[in-house]
Structure 1
Amino acid sequence: MGDQVRRNMPLFPMGIVMQLTELSARQIRYYEENKLITPARSEGNRRMFSFNDVDRLLEIKSLLERGVNLAGIREVFEMKEKGINQMPPYYKKEPSEADLHKHLKKELYQAGRYGKTSLIQGELSRFFN
């Protein structure tokens, strides 16, 4: 039995998946309603999740925490299915400290350049002596 077959085997009931992902049953059902996941069903019509389903739920949770909406998550998954594993540039991670410093310095410079006072200039000027 190959690894991919094992990862697709429906093994976990909803309760175990809730513990593994720290998502509520309602959240998991919502992602299923929006066709982000498709768990298998048992003879009793209970949802059964595979390792891949759990991984996908964890990825959904991570993307939501980074501010990506459901349409964006769907787009990310479509890109992965097409073999494009790179995140679109508009889903960048949090900016680094250096990026923030550069952006704030630029804002201060631009505000002073055009004779306008930035709303946050007084607060930020203490960082750029």
Structure 2
Amino acid sequence: MGFKELQKNLPVFSISVVTKITQLTARQIRYYEEKKLFTPKRTEGNTRLFSFNDIDKLLTIKDLLTKGFSLKAIDEIINEKDVSAKTTQIRQIIHNDIFAGPNGLPRERSIGRGDLSRFYNKKKINFNVRFFNKFFTEF
């Protein structure tokens, strides 16, 4: 393990700092730990301490949840359970598509529900306009 990897695994952040960095509540973080999505280190006094890798996992969990993944799917993705070579390849393709976009270039921003609803409503409005134009030109 190199120095950089050692730094990333060093547990130095308290839960209050992690909540500010990730914008997750302490309860959410504890819940993800309870579901074994990640395991922070503990002090002798049983206080949680988080590393950069833990924070990275939490941010990944948060992003995958906003994209509609279930906790079970996130657990399989993050902890790579029962992974075959083909499954690993498929997960990498999905990961690249989610975080980088289908063409491999970084996304300017992720697609949100608001974007999808605006797209849907725009298509619906265009359809309605064409329908009524056609309807009224026939009479």
Q: What is the TM-score with the length of structure 1 in the denominator?
A: 0.67
Q: Distance in 2 between matches of 1:58 and 1:4?
A: 18
Q: Distance in 2 between matches of 1:10 and 1:81?
A: 28
Shift, 1:78, TM fit:
3.6
Shift, 1:127, TM fit:
6.1
Partner of 1:86: 92
Aligned length: 108
Q: What is the DSSP-based 3-state SS (H/G/I as helix, E as strand, rest coil) of the residue aligned with 1:68?
A: coil
- Deviations 1:79-110 (CA, angstroms, capped at 9, x unpaired): 49958351549x9685999xx79xx7xxxxxx
Q: Is the Cα contact below 8 Å between 2:15 and 2:49 reproduced in 1?
A: yes
Partner of 1:25: 26
Partner of 1:56: 57
Q: Distance in 1 between matches of 2:130 and 2:60?
A: 37
Q: What is the DSSP-based 3-state SS (H/G/I as helix, E as strand, rest coil) of the residue aligned with 2:92?
A: coil
After superposition, the Cα gap between the structure-2 partners of 1:50 and 1:56, relative to the gap in structure 1 and judged at 3 Å, is: same
Q: What is the DSSP-based 3-state SS (H/G/I as helix, E as strand, rest coil) of the residue aligned with 2:29?
A: helix
Percent identical = 40
Partner of 2:108: none
Equivalent in 115, 124, 127 of residue 127 of structure 2: 124
Q: Distance in 1 between matches of 2:59 and 2:74?
A: 12
Q: Is the Cα contact below 8 Å between 1:76 and 1:87 reproduced in 2?
A: no
Unaligned stretches of 5+ in structure 2?
102-110, 135-139
After superposition, the Cα gap between the structure-2 partners of 1:52 and 1:80, relative to the gap in structure 1 and judged at 3 Å, is: farther
Runs (4 or more) in structure 1 with deviation over 6 Å come to none
Partner of 2:107: none
Higher helix share: 2
Q: Is the Cα contact below 8 Å between 1:39 and 1:49 reproduced in 2?
A: yes
Unaligned stretches of 5+ in structure 1?
105-119
Q: Is the Cα contact below 8 Å between 1:10 and 1:40 reproduced in 2?
A: yes
User: What root-mean-square deviation, in Å, do the aligned CA atoms of Structure 1 and Structure 2 show?
Assistant: 3.6
Q: What is the TM-score with the length of structure 2 in the denominator?
A: 0.62
